């Protein structure tokens, strides 16, 4: 294996501080940037004679790296695009820091992404998942049911859910304050069912947990009094879906997709959905119009006399 120069290591360390202090990015986002840069440097280190330095962040090497990623079955086009975006951001930082003079990656294009329509749960499937929890005998399951209801009712990302704090609840005004990507806050309305679930969990479960120091603000805690991890929520939802007989491949984000899709099907405008989801660009939200068209197509094929299948 090749080596990584001290200058390169120092630049990554400075980049980490820049993302944290100047850009106020979350730890998860910073980790993603560092991971992408490490993938690039590991690729270059395959040459045993190589010492990776700032000068290697150039168009030729990045194109060679992307071509290599394209040969890997487990690296999707979306991941390739994300890695390139991370390298471009790092390149801009090096210019800002005075370590290079020009952005040689400007002309490197990301692969064209095919827009996949995300999986969506029906209301019945969500109700069935919530019904699998034995809330009378297992207090933790009252918490789990509450989390599923909150993610679906408010369209939360899993990171937003596990970092939700008591100070973010404004039930008298029927809304919560959510801190999303880039620490940007948004206001999301919350319905009575989700409010009831949260209040019941706080009263019957959380109030009996011995909370560890520093964990007091967080709403959702494990038995040890620490706030939950994203992995835990992911595994919990997969188990609930399996227990409910849901055959779809789902994740916590599926509840967020279902929130947006059901709003659109119910007549909500795209701009309102964008605000509630915390999307910076309306084009990100537009994926749900494709889902809605599919829903309309299925509806007309089911109910319109000209489209009904004859047996």
Q: Catalytic positions, please? A: 157, 181, 253, 256, 279, 288
Q: Which among 225, 230, 223 has a CA at the least distance from the CA of 160?
A: 230
Q: How many CB atoms lie within 10 A of CB 3?
A: 14
Q: CA 24 → CA 86, 96, 145, 182, distances in Å?
A: 16, 17, 32, 6
Give CA–CA dist 99/7, Å, rounded.
10
Give CA–CA dist 152/145, Å, rounded.
11
Give CA–CA dist 209/215, Å, rounded.
11
Note the Cα 30 to chain centre separation in Å.
14
Burial class for 129, CB neighbours closer than 10 Å (0-12, 13-18, 19+): buried
Give CA–CA dist 285/29, Å, rounded.
20
Give CA–CA dist 295/291, Å, rounded.
6
Those residues whose C-beta lies under 8 Å from the C-beta of residue 256, and which sit 6 or more positions away, are: 151, 155, 156, 157, 277
Give CA–CA dist 106/110, Å, rounded.
11
Give CA–CA dist 159/152, Å, rounded.
14
């Amino acid at each position: 294996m090749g080596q990584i120069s001290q200058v390169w290591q120092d630049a990554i360390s400075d980049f980490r501080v820049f993302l944290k202090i100047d850009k106020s990015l979350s730890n998860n986002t910073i980790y993603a940037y560092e991971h992408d840069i490490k993938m690039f440097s590991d690729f270059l280190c395959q040459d045993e004679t190589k010492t990776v330095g700032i000068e290697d962040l150039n168009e030729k090497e990045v194109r060679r790296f992307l071509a290599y990623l394209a040969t890997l079955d487990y690296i999707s086009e979306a991941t390739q695009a994300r890695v390139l975006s991370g390298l471009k951001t790092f390149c801009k930082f090096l210019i800002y820091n005075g370590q290079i003079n020009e952005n040689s990656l400007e002309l490197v294009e990301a692969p064209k992404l095919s827009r996949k329509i995300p999986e969506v749960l029906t209301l019945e499937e969500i109700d069935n998942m919530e019904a699998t929890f034995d809330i009378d005998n297992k207090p933790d399951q009252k918490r789990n049911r509450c989390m599923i209801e909150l993610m679906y009712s408010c369209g939360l990302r899993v990171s937003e859910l596990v970092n939700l704090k008591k100070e973010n609840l404004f039930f008298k005004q029927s809304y919560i304050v959510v801190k999303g990507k880039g620490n940007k806050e948004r206001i999301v309305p919350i319905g009575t069912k989700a409010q009831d679930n949260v209040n019941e969990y706080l009263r019957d479960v959380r109030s009996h947990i011995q909370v560890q120091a520093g964990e007091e603000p967080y709403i959702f805690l494990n038995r040890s009094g620490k706030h939950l991890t994203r992995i835990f929520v992911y595994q919990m939802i997969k188990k609930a879906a399996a227990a409910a007989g849901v055959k779809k491949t789902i994740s916590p984000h599926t509840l967020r997709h279902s929130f947006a899709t059901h709003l659109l099907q119910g007549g909500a405008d795209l701009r309102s959905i964008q605000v509630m989801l915390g999307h910076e660009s309306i084009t990100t939200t537009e994926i749900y119009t494709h889902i809605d068209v599919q829903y309309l197509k299925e509806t007309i094929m089911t109910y319109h006399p000209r489209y009904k299948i004859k047996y």
